[in-house]
Amino acid sequence: MSGTTHVPALRPPVRERVTERVPGFFYAAVAPTLLAVLLVVGVPLGYSLFLSLNRINPITHRWLFVGFGNYAALPGNAELWAALGRTAYFAALSVAGTTALGMVFALLLNARFVGRGVLRSVVLVPWAMASVSVGVLWSFLFAGDFGGVNGVLNDLGFPSLATPWLGDGFRALNLVALVHVWNQAPLRALMLLAGLQSMPASLHKAAMLDGAGPVRRFVAITLPWLKPNLLFISIIATINALMAFDVLWIMTRGGPGSATTVLAWLGYLTAFQFFKFGEGAAILYVLTLLSFVLAILYFAVLGPRRAAPVRADGLTALPGGQGRHGMAALPPFRPRTRLLPRPVARVLAQGGFWAVALLVFLWSALPVAALLLMSLTPASDLIRTPASMVPSTITLDNFVSVLLPGRVAAQASSVQAQRVPLSLLNSFAVGAVVAAVSVVLGTLAGYAFARHDKTPAFKLSLWALLLTRMTPGLTLVLPFFIGFRAAGLIDTRTALMVSYCSFLLPLSTWMMRSYFEGVPRSLDRAALIDGCSRLKALWKILLPVVRPGIVATAIFCFLASWNEFLFALILTSTPRAQTIPVILAGFLSQAQFYTYGPLFAATVLSVAPPVAVAFLFQRYLVQGALSGSVKG
Amino acid sequence: MASISIRDVSKSYGALPVLQGLDLDIRDGEFVSFLGPSGCGKSTLLFCIAGLEEISGGAIRLDGQDMGRIPPRDRNIALVFQDYALYPHMRVRENIAFPLQQQRLPAQTVQKQVAWAAELLGLEALLDRSPAELSGGQRQRVAVGRAIVRNPAALLMDEPLSNLDASLRVRMRTEIKRLQRELGMTVVFVTHDQEEAMVLSDRIAVMDAGVLQQFAEPMTVYREPANQFVASFIGSPQMNFLPGPVAGGGMAASSLLGVRPYDLSPTRRPGPDDLTVEGTLTLIEPAGPVTFLDVTLADGSLVKATCPDPRTHQPGEPLTLAVPRGSVSVFNADNGKRTGALAPPSGARVRDGVAEAVAHRA
């Protein structure tokens, strides 16, 4: 930095180019975040790269350095090409689906109507749910013999249509993509909604007066306005599709056969099932690089757009009298001819609007309602053949067996059900600590980045932080496991807290930065002149102003922590530290029919806090999506 | 171009009335300003004329045709928005062409008409720029260009100059006026700037709290304000209000005298038709062409007067202020309505002269 503080005298005085001296406070503010991210993400990423350059014998633990040998072998791996093809197909479906659906949601939720607040919350529910819970729900709905979809078909009198939905390979891939879309579309909707809300109302009014109808206005005004949002949404959606793992783990485990084995799953399989750590790491590194390329594209889109300079020239004085160009002979204004009389068209438009609103509501709420119904259904009803969704009775037994395991006779309660209360507690504890730490450190760092984003060191580290958000967890999880095992932290909540904090710090930093950017610098200066220290100015003056941002950031961090599955799966092995997604997944591994009831009760419990958050803090979530750094 | 008739128009948001029983007739080719403090409903009324807001009662007619069931896009009305609402992703040329394209006019006509508008507004060099590359004044002209290009029945402008800096504002308002004269447009112009309204308008509609206070020519509004609100809203510095009995001659205690600071000045020898008040000079504010004097009257109230030269006075000196009786407005203090100008002193010859003149005319 010392080299850049001296400005050569000959350089033309360009505003903002003169390097500002950054007060030490700001270095101190970003230090903890950068250090944590470097240690907990940067080092493992390097380790993973090193791993991919070796071949490791899982039994003898002998390492053999092979250079790029693992990578060189990849092009010859037919399975890899097949997986790449499936990944591309899955990503294409997911991007198209989430974007189209997200657009419909956003347009709907941007309109003013009675019940908009409720619908906004309902639409968010599928996204707020843990992907494991989503997987549990849909894998039962699509299950072959007792599945919910087949149950409904039987109930409606179409038993011939019942089929093992996930049994056919290509159909399974499509259905998993559909579930992914169901889970992800709400977030795209939030991002598009943020874009729609930033659009000045006068644009549409002007276009209306200029004679453009609703469709024309959507094409000519709304779509171009949302272009940057759409572009970066499609990139984020692609990265998320590349990294999709939890839903696959729960629903298909890459099968049937290898029909849903996408790149991420292949890497996981190679590294953690076949214990070919080096080869697996190479596959996952390809995935990482793919994400990074997309992320850099994303930066190019999100990065400061070069605003064309305002030029005051070119405005000539108004010519008096007759000019060269005469007025064209315009035909007399004729209102457009209508296909339908106005009242009819109005009723149709209203009806169409409410029909779409109803469809969106059902799409979001029906599967969740089914989950709730199944959790209240006696466990024996869930394994009836032929399947039916109509319960013989409504019971709270499932909830009792997971919440009060002692109250149930031993044979009715499973081992797994007894683990639910502690896992909920673990999830809460981890989520609360992670949210608190992320908010505190993220606020400090976000403030520093908001005030000094022109300084090269800050600018660079800010983008580096965002890049770590694009790192697939699968690439990091093995070095994490090794590192935490060395530190004796395997199977502790501390390990989970440390890992979650470090991936969430970039998120919280970016979110808080965007909130601080909305606070005028004059407020800082006023506080400093009035005798505050920097820390006191931040605490007393700025924090109250950015409180909505703090709430939104805390919620996003809590939800991300609550819903995380992969790291919890790998870093914990006993119920002592296991969080609720791991316990839910455990139910499936045990595959005991009588535990479906408790499984759904536990799923409902796992979904309840995120859903409550979606309802209570919907407004903050919409705001939070504005910051543009939210992912997954 | 068209005439606009507003009949008993009212509008409310829920229980909150924003427009109450408005009646206005805007003639073809007339320049009318809606003037009032913020929140008085002037922009709402403009949006009602455009059809962007629905009225709760009454009727708006364009050239006699009821607009009640006609959506904005079929009214052939153009509106210049306060923030200009230029389509950010379209170049200036495309912005101006947009309304014409909506009417599905042949490309050649569109091109010719855009060229006409661009030349009229001096925008020819800017046609291929995007709105982000334009300064405030340039954007304003593009917005006007997009509005007039399709030869609308009426041009509405919602505080179009409020986002410009002071010197540009004065220049642009002259241009708008000239354009309106040249094209013979019917223009409705919303503003909270009384000077803008005075300079531009053929007639001004002064509004307050959703109610039309006065609709008249600018000098009438200035000289004969219909009520106390109009009197104090128009003119800067504000009109002085004195209790009626100051004028003597049996003025009712419930009347108020409105005296413009520009009409009130210190004098040593008041004329026979002058109304005079005594007071002490407390503050001298030289403002260039005139100097404002703050004078405290015997009853403790403060009035503002003007004099040409600040050097002739000292703070603290006693002053006699005089105003020609004919330029004093008399208001009924109970309902605020103007009852007329102050009559000349009783028994004066002038009064007879007026009476004679009236009789003569009759």
CATH value at residue A90: 1.10.3720.10
Cβ distance of A202 and B50 shorter than 8 Å:
no
Taking the CA of residue B194 and the nearest CA in chain A, the distance in Å comes to 25
- Structural domain count, chain B: 2
When CB atoms are compared, the residue of B50, B77, B125 closest to A314 is: B125
Is there a single domain that holds both residue B35 and residue B158? yes
Distance CA A218, CA A212 (A): 9
Q: Could you tell me if the ipTM is greater than 0.90? A: no
Among residues B111, B137, B112, B138, the alpha carbon closest in space to that of B123 is found at B138
A216: in domain: no
Tell me, yes or no, whether B102 and B70 share the same domain.
yes
Output the six-digit token pair for A267.
Answer: 């890497």
**Is A216 within 8 Å of B102 when comparing Cβ atoms?**
yes
Cα–Cα distance for residue pair B169/A152, rounded to 1 Å: 69
* Number of domains chain A is built from: 2
Do B73 and A308 make contact, defined as CB atoms within 8 angstroms?
no
Do residues A480 and A360 both lie within one domain?
Answer: no
Best residue of A114, A202, A209, A342 to probe chain B, by most B CBs closer than 10 Å:
A209
Which member of A200, A206, A311 has the closest CB to residue B79?
A: A206
Same domain, A116 and A158: yes
CATH number at residue B322: 2.40.50.140
Instruction: Note whether A41 and A468 are within 8 A (CB).
Output: yes
Cα dist from B277 to A580, A595, B236, B266, B296, whole Å: 87, 98, 21, 9, 10
Domain-ending residue, one of B172, B207, B226: B226
Q: Look at residue A4 in the predicted model and tell me its pLDDT.
A: 36
- CATH number, domain of B93, equals 3.40.50.300
- Give A219 to chain B, closest Cα distance, Å: 12
Which strand (E) or helix (H) includes residue B323?
strand B318-324
Chain B residues touching A309 at Cβ < 8 A: 133
What is the pLDDT confidence band of residue B341, given thresholds at 50, 70 and 90? Answer: confident
Question: Does any domain span residue A629?
Answer: yes
* In the predicted structure, residue A388 carries a pLDDT above the cut 90: no
Same domain, A469 and A551: yes
Together in a domain, B182 and B39: yes
- Three-class secondary structure of residue B6 per DSSP: strand
Please give the residue of chain B at the shortest CA–CA distance from A200: B85
Count of beta carbons in the 10 Å neighbourhood of residue A112? 5
Whether the CB-CB separation of B268 and B320 falls below 8 Å is answered with yes
- Residue B244, in any domain of the structure: yes
> For residue B321, is pLDDT > 70?
yes
Which residue from A307, A313, A328 is facing B116, i.e. has the nearest CB? A328
Distance from CA of A530 to the nearest CA of B (A): 32
Same domain, A574 and A528: yes
Tell me whether residues B146 and A210 touch, CB distance under 8 A: yes
Contact B125 A318 (CB under 8 A): no
- What is the model's pLDDT at position A7? 38
Q: What sections of chain B are H helices per DSSP?
A: 42-50, 92-102, 107-120, 136-148, 166-183, 194-200, 218-223, 228-233, 349-361
Give me the percent of chain B exceeding a pLDDT of 70. 94
Closest partner residue to A209 (CB to CB) among B77, B124, B133 is: B77
Residues of B in Cβ contact (< 8 Å) with A329:
109
Say yes or no: A370 and A464 in one domain: no
Residues of A in contact with B159 (CB under 8 A): none
Q: How far is A115 from chain B (nearest CA, A)?
A: 18
B23 within some domain: yes
Taking residues A111-137, report their average pLDDT: 88
Residues A276 and A413 in one domain: no
Same domain, B254 and B222: no
Best residue in B103, B146, B182 for a mutation probing chain A (most A CBs within 10 Å): B103
- Out of B226, B258, B290, a domain closes at B226
CB B177 within 8 A of CB B31: yes
One domain, residues B169 and B255:
no
Residue B232 lies in a domain: no
B41: left (phi over 0), alpha (psi -120 to 50) or beta: left
**Are the beta carbons of B116 and A209 separated by less than 8 Å?**
no
Residue B152, exposed/middle/buried by CB under 10 A (0-12, 13-18, 19+)? Answer: buried
Whether residues A58 and A124 share a domain: the answer is: yes
Which two three-digit tokens encode residue A596? Answer: 């479906």
The string of pLDDT tens digits covering residues A91-114 is 999 999 999 999 999 999 998 888
The DSSP result for B176-222, as a single string, is HHHHHHHHT--EEEEES-HHHHHHH-SEEEEEETTEEEEEE-HHHHH
Q: Is residue A22 part of a domain?
A: no
**Are A426 and A371 in the same domain?**
no
The reply to whether A370 and A402 lie within a common domain is no
Task: Tell me, yes or no, whether A179 lies in a domain.
Answer: yes
CB-CB under 8 Å, B138 with A325: no
Closest alpha carbon within chain B to A336: B74
Distance in Å, alpha carbon of A14 to nearest chain B alpha carbon: 20
Cβ atoms within 10 Å, residue A156: 10
| Chain A residues within 8 Å of chain B (Cβ atoms) | 200, 202-203, 205-213, 216, 220-221, 224-225, 227, 307-320, 323-331, 333, 335-336, 342
* Same-domain check for residues B294 and B206: no
What percentage of chain A exceeds 90 in pLDDT? 16
Q: What is the mean pLDDT of residues A38-45?
A: 83
- The dihedrals phi and psi of B241, each to the nearest 5 degrees, come to -120, 125
What is the domain extent for residue B281? Answer: 237-361
A363 and A420 share one domain: no
Looking at residues A159-176, what average pLDDT do you find? 84
pLDDT of amino acid B50: 92
Q: Quick one: B211 and B265 in the same domain? A: no
Predicted pLDDT of residue B77? 92
With a cut of 80, say whether residue A629 has pLDDT above it. Answer: no
Does a structural domain hold residue A323?
no
pLDDT on residue B240: 93
Q: Could you tell me if residue B79 is inside a domain?
A: yes
CA–CA distance, A226 with A245 (Å, rounded to integer): 29
In a domain, A186, yes or no: yes
Query: Residues B199, B332: one domain?
Result: no
Does residue B58 sit in the same domain as residue B189?
A: yes
Q: State how far the Cα of A169 lies from the Cα of A483, in Å rounded to an integer.
A: 38
Q: Within 13 Å and on the Cβ side, how many CA atoms surround A445?
A: 27
Amino acid in the structure at residue A242:
L
Instruction: Return the pLDDT at B147.
Output: 92
Which of B226, B246, B280 is the endpoint of a domain? B226
Size of interface A-B (CB pairs under 8 A): 146
State the pLDDT confidence band at A518, using cuts at 50, 70 and 90. confident
pLDDT above 70: percentage of residues in chain A: 88
Q: What is the rounded CA–CA span in Å between residue A378 and residue A374?
A: 8
In a domain, B299, yes or no: yes
Those residues whose C-beta lies under 8 Å from the C-beta of residue A48, and which sit 6 or more positions away, are A281, A284, A285, A288, A475, A476, A478, A479
pLDDT one-digit tens code per residue, B259-302: 999 999 999 888 888 888 999 999 999 998 899 999 999 888 89
In a domain, B231, yes or no: no
B195 with B258, same domain: the answer is no
Same domain, A499 and A562: yes
Least confident of A31-40, A159-168, A223-232, B67-76: A159-168
Cis preceding-peptide flag for A343 (omega within 30 of 0): no
- Let me know whether B169 and B247 are in one domain: no
Would A21 be classed as within a structural domain?
no
Residue position matching structure tokens 């035909």: A331
Residue A484, domain extent: 396-632
Q: Which residue of A has its CA nearest to B157?
A: A206
Question: Domain check: are B189 and B247 in the same one?
Answer: no
Give the full edge-to-edge strand order of the sheet including B338-341. B240-243, B255-259, B329-332, B338-341
